[in-house]
Amino acid sequence: MAAWTKLPHRFNSTRNFVDARVKWVRDPYLDFAVEREKNLKQAISFKHQILSDPSESLPLSLASLLKPRLDLSTTASNFFRNYPSFFSLFQPSPGLPPRVKLTRQALSLHREESAIHTSQPHRSDAVCRLARLLMLTGSARLPIYVIERLKWDLGLPHNFMASLVIDFPDYFQVCEIEDPSTGRKELALEIVSWRKELAVSELERRALNDDGPSGNRTKRIAFPMVFPKGYELVKNVKDWVEEWQRLPYISPYENGFHLSPNSDQAEKWTVAVLHELLWLMVSKKTERDNLFCLGEYLGFGSTFKKALVHHPGIFYLSNKIRTQTVVLREAYRKDFLLEKHPLMGMRYRYIHLLNKTPKMRKPALGLAPRNKQHETAFANGVGRNLSFEGTHA
């Protein structure tokens, strides 16, 4: 098992971040990219619960017990009634308690999604994403509960241990570790052997493609920065960012913990780790608490939080859908996700079905298409192009 490579101390810049407050400005496009997925994860979680029952239905009383775990903002029965194109409430026979099942359209989408998860190209892609996640840690292992928090964003199947990991013993093995944050023994997943071909970050890959095979991976790679219209950095912060961008780029797959914790170079490495983590996500975003949980386990402590605050041109923090979500800015043009991924195409089709309502009925909770053109793009374009471009007035 190869550990992180320790880098030379010549990169150990000790200049600290300029003493200035970097303002946060709301980005309505990225907020919409987050908000349009309102209740999607909860609906998919209910879908898995329903299909796990042999009858492919669930007693309403049992579904109600899942409300705290799924962080529902309403009762389970109201949740199902809000999405009549996705869920169907029924009573098996007089005197029996009500149950919920999926509609024919929801079952059809589920079968299409399952076909993606079982396809060889997607399985290979999922294995590489998971392997890279493990290689971003110093020990090349993570507690399974941490991976569970990230599986949705990584594009892993719901039961990834049984349906994916077990089929790749040359990549992964289960072990037992002591969780440093709790001191308890936890089951963990570790990578069997270091895979050098995977230990290349997205930014390094771009630089190598630009420079050819002889490209220097320690060159001064700068992070792409995107600011909302009208956003201006104050001069001292702008000067600091320009100097900071010229510092050597340290790969997130190398160990930078020997750097002075408060140095600019250490912060550039931290940003590299965050950038690569978000790039591994199929939607290029994840809940802030997921990153903090992972960062706490990896030993970053509060440095993840500081990096997110210091670099609004790289990361955007959205406060939509009752949580905080970190979005990788460069991955979006307005609310349009630039990198096409089959699972994101499926998710947008799920969203369209969730918001599809019968005529003469009030719109369901969530975000419905805002006009006919938008509805056509949602229902048809997304399915073919595996991406979605929002339109804003």
User: Is the pLDDT at 84 greater than 90, yes or no?
Assistant: yes
Q: What is the pLDDT of residues 242-277, one digit of tens each?
A: 999 999 999 999 999 999 888 999 999 999 999 999
More confident residue, 95 or 86: 86
> Which region holds residue 77: left if phi is over 0, alpha if psi is between -120 and 50, else beta?
alpha
Tokens of 285: 């975003």
User: Is the pLDDT at 344 greater than 60, yes or no?
Assistant: yes
- Rounded CA-CA distance 186/147 in Å is 12
Tokens of 113: 């999604």
- Rounded CA-CA distance 290/294 in Å is 6
More confident residue, 230 or 99: 99
Q: What confidence score (pLDDT) does residue 112 get? A: 98
More confident residue, 72 or 20: 72
The answer to whether 346 touches 360, Cβ cutoff 8 Å, is no
- Rounded CA-CA distance 97/274 in Å is 48
User: Model-level pTM?
Assistant: 0.85
Q: What confidence score (pLDDT) does residue 232 get? A: 84
Q: What is the mean pLDDT of residues 72-81?
A: 94
Q: In a 3-state reduction of DSSP, which class is residue 13? A: coil
- Strand pairing class (57-59; 336-337): unpaired
Tokens of 171: 């990549």
DSSP per position, 352-365: HHHT---TTSPPPS
Q: What confidence score (pLDDT) does residue 324 get? A: 95
Question: pLDDT band at residue 212, thresholds of 50, 70 and 90?
Answer: low
Per-residue DSSP letter, 3: P
Which of 144, 179, 175 lies closest to 160, judged by CA? 144
Query: What residue segments make up the domains of the chain, in order of their start?
Result: 28-211+219-355
Buried b (16+ CB within 10 A) or exposed e, 204-238: beebbeeeeeeeebeeebbbeebeeeeeebeeebe
H helix intervals, 231-331? 235-245, 264-280, 288-298, 303-310
Q: In a 3-state reduction of DSSP, which class is residue 256? A: coil
Half-sphere exposure of 306 (CA within 13 A, CB side): 18
Per-residue DSSP letter, 338: S
What is the distance between the terminal CA atoms of the chain, rounded to a whole angstrom? 53
Question: pLDDT band at residue 4, thresholds of 50, 70 and 90?
Answer: low
The answer to whether 351 touches 37, Cβ cutoff 8 Å, is yes
Q: What confidence score (pLDDT) does residue 389 get? A: 33
C-alpha distances in Å from residue 294, one per residue of 165, 307, 364? 20, 15, 35
User: 34-48, 139-153, 199-213, 324-338 — which is least confidently predicted?
Assistant: 199-213
- With pLDDT > 90 as the criterion, what percentage of the chain qualifies? 72
The answer to whether 324 touches 289, Cβ cutoff 8 Å, is yes
54's CB contacts (< 8 A; 6+ apart) are: none
C-alpha distances in Å from residue 205, one per residue of 130, 247, 253, 255? 18, 18, 13, 19
